[in-house]
Copies of this chain bind each other. A is one copy, B any other.
């Protein structure tokens, strides 16, 4: 089985949307419904799904519950995973309390910051530690995912520490690209770059693709 990044991203979005549909009590969804919800075409959705050898029902579309279960299984999204957040500034502490992570099976089980005073002041149900304890805690709590919300100049260093401790996936909110061994999966979310992208497209000298 072998999916492109684009396919994976679409399927992840579909998975999230199926959850919404399920909570609403919707039973079936056609490829077109799904496509609209994630911003794709129905062809692409059908192809993505069929690449996973999942089949739908003619005339009705896909069974919401079943499809969600199957997508989750094929992409290992049903399994819970432990995560930690490094850097508990404004953004990091907002992320600590971002309930959607937990709802979706990502358990944030630790927060880290280098500022001891900050650790004492923070009010959250999640355990917080100084960065010096990253290695110990990651191993003890079986943390697989690291969320980096430290100032950009420290991001690479933190990433190295996380990986040495055994983290295999990194979500990086700093605006620098971090260099990683290629078995580590990583996504960069650079807010400023997203605004730049919007600004650039607004300026108009672009295709619509």
A200 an interface residue at 8 Å Cβ cutoff?
A: yes
B191 touches A2 (CB 8 A): no
B100 & A199 in contact (Cβ 8 Å cutoff) = no
Tell me if A127 counts as interface (CB < 8 A to partner B): no
Interface assignment of A111: CB less than 8 Å from any CB of chain B: no
Q: Which of B1, B8, B91, B197 contacts A8 (CB 8 A)?
A: B197
Instruction: Give chain B residues whose Cβ lies under 8 Å from the Cβ of A4.
Output: 206-207, 209
**Which of B1, B13, B169 is the one whose CB lies under 8 Å from A205?**
B1
A171-B192 contact in complex given A76-B203, A177-B38, A185-B202, C-beta closer than 8 Å? no
Chain B residues with CB below 8 A from A77, complex form? 196, 199-200
**A86 in the interface, Cβ–Cβ < 8 Å?**
no
Q: Does A193 contact B (CB under 8 A)?
A: yes
Partner of A98 from B15, B16, B91 at Cβ < 8 Å? B91
Cβ A202 vs Cβ B101 within 8 A: no
By the criterion CB–CB under 8 Å, are B198 and A145 in contact?
Answer: yes
Q: Residues of B contacting A93 with CB < 8 Å?
A: 90, 94
Please tell me if A126 contacts chain B, counting CB pairs below 8 Å: no
Which residue of the partner chain B has the closest CB to A52? Answer: B205
Contact A39:B177 (CB < 8 A) given known A12-B196, A101-B192? yes
Name A's B-contacting residues (CB within 8 A): 1-5, 8-9, 11-13, 15-16, 20, 37-39, 74-77, 79, 81, 83, 89-91, 93-95, 97-98, 100-101, 104, 106, 144-145, 168-171, 175-177, 182, 185-187, 189-203, 205-209
24 contacts across the A-B interface (CB closer than 8 A)? A1-B206, A2-B205, A3-B206, A3-B207, A5-B197, A8-B197, A12-B193, A13-B177, A15-B196, A16-B175, A75-B200, A76-B202, A77-B199, A90-B98, A91-B98, A106-B195, A144-B202, A145-B195, A145-B198, A171-B198, A187-B194, A187-B197, A189-B189, A189-B194
The 7 closest A-B pairs by CB, nearest first: A76-B203, A90-B94, A169-B198, A75-B200, A12-B196, A1-B205, A185-B201
